[in-house]
Amino acid sequence: MNQIGDPYENLANAIVIQAAADYKRALRTIRRDPISASAKERANHIERFFHSEWYRHLTKVDGKLLVRKLKEAVI
């Protein structure tokens, strides 16, 4: 039988992956348009998520490290 993994773990991973993609998109927008209030707000909101208790329930990946790596990838 083909195992697809734990559905809850798959969902948690999908949430974190989507947040990372959204964060990178917001950072790219800020790089192109440094005064974009909506992009700054979106990036700040996602950063708060990466440092939240809920995030720590979803994954063992260090949120501070992830934010740093995502910023490096966009710069």
pLDDT at 3: 58
Q: Is the pLDDT of residue 69 over 50?
A: yes
In degrees rounded to 5, what are phi and psi of residue 60? -95, -5
Q: Which residue has the tokens 């991973």?
A: 13
Q: For residue 52, what are the contacts with CB-CB under 8 A and spacing of at least 6?
A: 63
Q: How far apart are CA 60 and CA 43, in angstroms?
A: 21
Does the structure show a pLDDT above 50 at 39? Answer: yes
* pTM score: 0.89
Task: Say yes or no to pLDDT of 13 above 90.
Answer: yes
Model pLDDT, residue 5:
74
Is residue 1 over pLDDT 70? Answer: no
Q: How far apart are CA 33 and CA 12, in angstroms?
A: 31
